[in-house]
Structure 1
Amino acid sequence: MPVVKYPRVVDPLWHEWDEKAQKCGLRHTIYAVNGDQYTGEWLDNLKHGKGTQIWKRTGAIYSGDWKFGKRDGYGSYSIPDPVTKEYKKVYTGWWKNDKKCGYGTLFYPSGECYEGEWSSGLRSGWGRMCYRDGSVYEGQWLAGQPGGQGMLCLSNDNRYEGGWKDGKKHGPGRFFYLDKGQLLEGIWVADIPKCGIMIDFGRDEAPAPTQYPIPKIELADPDAVLAEAQAMFDDSQN
C-alpha cells in the first residue's frame, strides 16, 4: 500500500507576526471573547506601555500607561453618557496596580469633583472636594474621608477650620459664623462641639448679626483681685 505523504502544515506569516507584536512592544489590536478591545503596546503577551482599552459592556475607555497587564502610570478613564452617547471624563491622573494612586481628578456623576492625592483607589493625602451643595473641603484625607487637618467652606461662606476624623469634625477647631459675626473656638467630637468659647467676630460687617452682642467678660476691680491672690500666695509660703 503506497504511503501517502501530506504536505507539512506551516503557520501563516500573520501568526508569527502576531506573536512578535505581543511580545516585542509593537502596537497591535486584540479582541477578547467578551468583545473588549485593546489597541496598544505589549510585552510578553501583557499590555505594557501605551494603550487604549474599550470595554464592550459599558462602553468605557481607558487610554494611557500600562504595566504588565494593569493600568499603571498616567491615564484617563471615560464613560459614554447614557442619553447623548458622548464620552464624559471620569478620572484623569495617576494609577498604580490598576488603582488610582498619586495625583488625579475624579468627576462624580452628581457633578461633584475631587482633585488631589490618591492611594490604593481611595482619596488619601491632600485634596480638594467640591460638593454639589456648593461647599468645598480642602485639607487632609485618609481612606477616602476627611482625616487630619482641613477646612470646610460652606456655600454661605461660613467655615470650619480644624481637626477631622472619619469624615467628621473632631478635635480642636474653629467655626466662623460669618453670617452672624461670631466665632466658636473649641473641641469637636464626631461633628459635635463639646466645649469652647463663642466671641463676636466681624459683627459690624456681618449680613445677619445676632440681636445682642456677646458682652465682654472683665474683672470689676483687677487690682483688688491681684492683691488678694498675692496675699493668698504669701500665706501659703508661711
Structure 2
Amino acid sequence: MPVVKYPRAAEPLWHEWDRKAQKHGLRHTVYAVNGDRYTGEWLDNLKHGKGIQIWKHNGAIYSGDWKFGKRDGYGSYSIPDPVTKEYLKVYTGWWRNNKECGYGTMFYPSGERYEGEWSSGQRSGWGRMCYGDGSTYEGQWLADRPGGQGMLCLPNNNRYEGSWKDGKKHGPGRFFFLDKGQLLEGIWVTDVPKCGIIIDFSRDTAPAPTQYPIPKIELADPDGVLAEAQVMFDDSQNE
C-alpha cells in the first residue's frame, strides 16, 4: 500500500512574531511599564553586554556592563542633584550580580569617599575611606567596617596603627600623639586602651608637648608585662 505524504503544516504566525520579537545581540531601546528605559545590547531578551539604564522614579542612571539582566562587569551609577539636576556619581567600578564587587569608588552624599575593594555590595578587602571630619582610614575591611590591620589618621595628624574589629580599635596597636610628642603602644578592646606603654616620641619638635615628662618606669620587665597582657588578650579571643 503506497505511503501517502501529507504536506507539512505551516508554522503558526505567532511563532514567527515571537521569534522576531526576541532581542538578541543588537542594541535596542526598551521602555518598562513603570517608565524605566534601557538602551543597549541584549541576549535572549535579557540585558547583556553594554547598556544604559535610566530609572524613572529617581532619575538614576547606570552605564556599563550587563550580564543576563544584571549589572555585571565595569560600570558607573549616578543620580541627579535635586537642585541643579546635574548628575552626581555615586559609584564607579566593578559589579557582580547587581552589586558592587571588586575594585571601585563610592561617593557619599555627605562628601565622604571610599576607594577600594568590595564584596556583595559591602566594603571588604583593602580600602581607603575619607571621612567628613578630615580623618582617613586605610587598611583592611570586613562586612562594611574596618576589620584586620589598618591605620586611622586624624585631622590633627595623630594616628593609630594596629588591629581593628567591627569598626573599632581592637587588639595590639600603636597610637602616635604627634601633637604631644608621645607614643602609646599597647592593647585595645573595643576602642579602649586596656594596657600599654607611653614613651616620648619627637617631644622636642611637637607643637604642644605635655607639661610634665613621663616618669621613669619602675617595672623590672615592662616588655614582659606587655607580652603577658598580649597572651591574656589572645586567650580571651579564642574562648
TM-score (norm: length of structure 1) = 0.84
The corresponding residue for 1:116 is 116
Structure 1 alignment gaps of length 5 or more:
1-8, 220-238
Q: State the secondary structure of the residue aligned to 2:118.
A: strand
The corresponding residue for 2:70 is 70
The corresponding residue for 1:125 is 125
Given residue 171 of structure 2, which amino acid in structure 1 is its aligned partner?
Answer: G
The corresponding residue for 1:171 is 171
The corresponding residue for 2:195 is 195
Given residue 56 of structure 1, which amino acid in structure 2 is its aligned partner?
Answer: K
- Structure 1 residue 216, shift from structure 2 partner: 3.6
**Are positions 1:44 and 2:50 aligned together?**
no
- Structure 1 residue 212, shift from structure 2 partner: 1.1
Larger Rg: 1
> Which aligned pairs between 1:66-105 and structure 2 lie closer than 5 A?
66-105=66-105
Cα-Cα RMSD: 2.0
Given residue 58 of structure 1, which amino acid in structure 2 is its aligned partner?
Answer: N
* CA distance in structure 1 between the aligned counterparts of 2:13 and 2:113, rounded to whole angstroms: 56
TM-score (norm: length of structure 2) = 0.83
Q: Render the CA deviation track for 1:154-212: whole Å, top value 9, x for unaligned.
A: 00000000000000000000000000111100000000000001111110010000001
* CA distance in structure 1 between the aligned counterparts of 2:145 and 2:126, rounded to whole angstroms: 11
Q: State the secondary structure of the residue aligned to 1:137.
A: strand
Q: State the 4+ residue runs in structure 1 displaced beyond 6 angstroms.
A: none
Change in Cα spacing, 1:29 to 1:77, as seen in structure 2 (3 Å) is: same
- Structure 1 residue 215, shift from structure 2 partner: 3.3
The corresponding residue for 1:25 is 25
Given residue 67 of structure 2, which amino acid in structure 1 is its aligned partner?
Answer: K
Of 129-138 and 207-216, deviating more is 207-216
Identity %: 82
Q: State the secondary structure of the residue aligned to 1:129.
A: strand
* CA distance in structure 2 between the aligned counterparts of 1:150 and 1:137, rounded to whole angstroms: 7
* CA distance in structure 2 between the aligned counterparts of 1:185 and 1:28, rounded to whole angstroms: 62
The corresponding residue for 1:3 is none
* CA distance in structure 2 between the aligned counterparts of 1:195 and 1:109, rounded to whole angstroms: 39
* CA distance in structure 1 between the aligned counterparts of 2:98 and 2:171, rounded to whole angstroms: 35
- Structure 1 residue 213, shift from structure 2 partner: 1.4
